Amino acid sequence: MASCFRWPSHFDVFVTVDQNLRYQQIVAGRKIAVIVLIARRNKIEFLRPLVPALERALAAIKPGELIEVGGNLQG
């Protein structure tokens, strides 16, 4: 499915909380990488604990990859 979204060319990694992005956008073959933060809610108190894993993902991700960080939705 074609998309009207234009990936920014001046960024290396796009970080988002949009969990549907995997199904909406094709990342493979792009010059940009995507990290999706998976949290129970889109509030800083739920996102802050993901920062150490986000930092590890930022160090390891390569262009065209999509990594999900988090995912423990219990509690």
pLDDT tens-digit profile of 14-70?
899 988 887 777 777 778 899 999 999 999 999 999 999 999 999 999 998 999 999
pLDDT of residue 67: 94
**Distances 13 to 8, 43, 58, 59, 72 between C-alpha atoms, Å:** 9, 21, 8, 11, 23
pTM of the model: 0.78
Q: How confident is the model at residue 12 (pLDDT cuts 50, 70, 90)?
A: confident
* CA 72 – CA 66 distance, rounded (Å): 18
